[in-house]
Amino acid sequence: MQVSVEKTSELSRKMTVIVPEAVVQEKMAERLKALSRQVKIDGFRPGKVPQHVVNKMYGEKVRGEVAGDLIQSTYYDALRDQKLNPAGQPKIHDLDETEGFKYIAEFEVYPEISLEGIEGLAITRTSASVEEGDVDAMIEKLQTQKKTWNEVERASRDKDRITIAFSGVCEGENFTEGRVQDFQVEIGAKQMIPGFEDNLIGLKKDEGKTFLVTFPEEYNNAKLAGKAADFDVETFKVEEPVLPAVDEEFIKAYGTKDGLLATFRNDIKTNMQRELTQALHGKLKNSVLEALYEKIQPPVPSVLIDEEIQTLMKPYLESAKRNKLKQADLQLPKEMFKDQAQRRVALGLILGEIIHIKEIKVDDEKVRTTIEDMAKSYEQPEAYVSWYYSDKSRLQGVQQMVLEDQTVEWLVSQAKISDETVGFSDIMDANQR
């Protein structure tokens, strides 16, 4: 076997493989001989068909089969001999040759990654704590989820709910198709375009108002994006929110069985602390990965980027399928995901190289702890843990996540750390955006 490799770009390779005719003939002879004992041809008893007849009838077909087998067997041998590490499947070009067998395999290889400079990355580590005021705010948020509405005769205020009829005109065209009736707006909930809800403050029942508001530049209707519109509003009802009392019934509804306020606050604080710990871990990890990506940006095989784009698009495509939409209707160009896909693939390759070079091994105890922490939010945590350990593919997913976290921990241990302290809401609000 003769092998030659041409470098067509930084990561692209063109490998030519030539197999001698003697090898092709030997493989064909073996297959044709076996075939002569199986074929049935009129005029000959089974197993007694002359070899030259079999060769004439099946030679071309068998040569094609042998060619396919030779590609399978010689491709990986050639890669090993040439010390090549391909990314993705190759494009094979089978060339017609009168003597021997020849094919060209085109593929990309994984990049060689230099880890120079990964020790000493500049990282910001954020810390925060759950204070009693944060617990108060969370209880108020829970109350808000169960609020009721009480009609009032006064002028509307922030956080009130107001029932209106309205119409909108932009550049002389009514874009609300007449007048929208019995429309409820919770002032301050930001369900309308910026500025609209502000103009509803101070209105009483049966009062009207006209005002001008400009649509955001990124508004999803191109005809209205960035343009000013005149709104005409009529008020039919003003209601104020009524929060439920934090009594035994309210407390038990959120899972605190004894109904005591002290236990309730402790339960809330424990949950908030768990969420904060996860958010801080995620923020630190993102800080490390961002610094790592800025330091090392290896070339990335396009085939891996394409695969990652498909992964990123999958949730959107599945959602479209559930809603009986065609992929074309989504208007999701691949370019929209390219930068994110490239970053994810690059970081995966870099982390993989660090794991290999630094010989980082997955910590089984950390895997167990991670699964148990995940299980705490379920009613039957033990069953959840067993569910993970009963399936290798599920368990491998957690193992990979833990191994990645261990690698980030190693990078943090080598980094130049700048510490900062912020409030609970600063972390959680940013985490929800």
pLDDT band at 11 (very low <50, low <70, confident <90, very high): very high
In which element (H, E) is residue 239 found? Answer: strand 228-242
Tell me the average pLDDT across 41-49.
64
Neighbours of 326 (CB within 10 A): 8
Q: Are 205 and 161 in contact (CB under 8 A)?
A: no
pLDDT band at 406 (very low <50, low <70, confident <90, very high): very high
How much is the pTM? 0.76
Q: What DSSP string describes 376-420?
A: TTSS-HHHHHHHHHT-HHHHHHHHHHHHHHHHHHHHHHHSEEEEE
Alpha helices in 3-47 (DSSP H): 21-36
Give residue-wise pLDDT tens across range 245-296: 999 999 999 989 999 999 999 999 999 999 999 999 999 999 999 999 999 9
The interaxial angle of helices 335-357 and 261-295, nearest 10 deg, is 90
Question: Per-residue pLDDT for 331 more than 80?
Answer: no
Neighbours of 23 (CB within 10 A): 15
Distance of alpha carbon 227 from alpha carbon 193, whole angstroms: 12
The interaxial angle of helices 424-432 and 261-295, nearest 10 deg, is 60
Average pLDDT, the chain: 90
Give residue-wise pLDDT tens across range 116-150: 989 999 999 999 999 999 999 999 999 999 999 99
Amino acid making up residue 10: E
Paired strand residues for 170: 173
Q: Which two tokens stand for residue 272?
A: 């908030």
- Work out whether strand 208-214 and strand 86-95 pair parallel, antiparallel, or are unpaired: unpaired
Q: Left if phi > 0, otherwise alpha if psi is -120 to 50, otherwise beta: which for 47?
A: left
